[in-house]
Amino acid sequence: MKDVIQFYGVEFRWLNILDLVIVVFLIIQLYRLLKGSLAFNIFVGLLMVYAAYFLVRALQMPILTSILQNFINVGIIAIIIIFQPEIRKFLLVLGKKTPLSKDSFLTKLFLPDKFKSYKEEENIINELIVAVSRMQSTSTGALIVIATTYRLKFDSASSIPIDGNVSAKLIESIFEKHSPLHDGALIIVGNKILAAKVILPVSENPNLPTRIGLRHRSAVGITEHSDNLAIIVSEERGTVSYAMDGVLTQDVSLEDLKVKLYEVLIDGYA
């Protein structure tokens, strides 16, 4: 088998093509990760610095070349510091696509016991849908965060521990307008309601709609750098939305929300 191919008289090695495909894949994933965030502008700025360095070096401008060279020498450390949340999320995205990820064929083949029954997950989904439906009908504001792959980190000093089973009545009572726990988010980890009245990081994404409130921005914020699903019930408009991977999907039906919950809680492990 030849390891060199010709295209209009130009020779290419298979490894060159593979190299190009990998680079394009990484660039696309990086663009999706940074698109619409303030980090995207910083990334463009760094690219301009690198382009300026190659330009001044080609023009043989020693002073500027030396200055930009010193900047680039510490560039890797600066990039790690500046883009630490984005790098974490980027590695999380790559991890989902590996052969050993939770939804891969190899995981299902060698860990079949993990995929036998989903009665508990289905019960959680049904309880969530009932709670969201009732809160929507009464325009009760709510923010529910479901940790999907690892224990969610949050400010425990400002939250109230619950450690209770997921039930529609408990969720409704927490977000009832006169309840002392209705402000903040409700955190669900596994089959338990872990805490209520949780303060979440607020997204700084400038592309989010200006009319959305703090609940929606907090939902986007908690999903920008962690693998979680956040459900929002609007107190002002009585609509339901959800956020995942830093993307806000507004005005969804209960059926759409149920499909997303199945996708996250069941299909993600099947």
Q: Tens digit of pLDDT for each residue in 121-175?
A: 889 999 999 999 999 999 999 999 998 755 566 666 678 888 889 999 999 999 9
Alpha carbon distance 268, 270 (integer Å): 6
Q: For residue 270, what are the CA distances in angstroms to 17, 116, 240, 243?
A: 34, 9, 26, 22
Q: Taking the chain, what is the end-to-end CA distance rounded to the nearest angstrom? A: 39
Q: Tens digit of pLDDT for each residue in 77-115?
A: 766 666 666 666 666 656 655 554 455 444 444 444 444
Q: What is the mean pLDDT of residues 58-72?
A: 84
**Percent of the chain with pLDDT strictly greater than 70:** 69
Comparison of pLDDT for 207 and 144, the residue scoring more: 144
Q: What is the pLDDT of residue 28?
A: 77
Alpha carbon distance 117, 243 (integer Å): 27
DSSP states of 150-179:
SPPP--GGGSEEEEEE--HHHHHHHHSTT-
Q: What is the pLDDT of residue 167?
A: 93
Q: What is the pLDDT of residue 4?
A: 58
Q: What is the pLDDT of residue 45?
A: 77
**Please, which residues have CB within 8 angstroms of residue 113's CB and are 6 or more apart in sequence?**
none
Q: What is the mean pLDDT of residues 218-244?
A: 89
What average pLDDT is seen over the chain?
A: 78
Q: Is the pLDDT of residue 269 over 50?
A: no
Q: What is the pLDDT of residue 270?
A: 43
Alpha carbon distance 23, 31 (integer Å): 12
pTM of the complete model: 0.61
Q: What is the pLDDT of residue 1?
A: 46
Q: What is the pLDDT of residue 71?
A: 76
pLDDT band at 50; cut points 50, 70, 90: confident
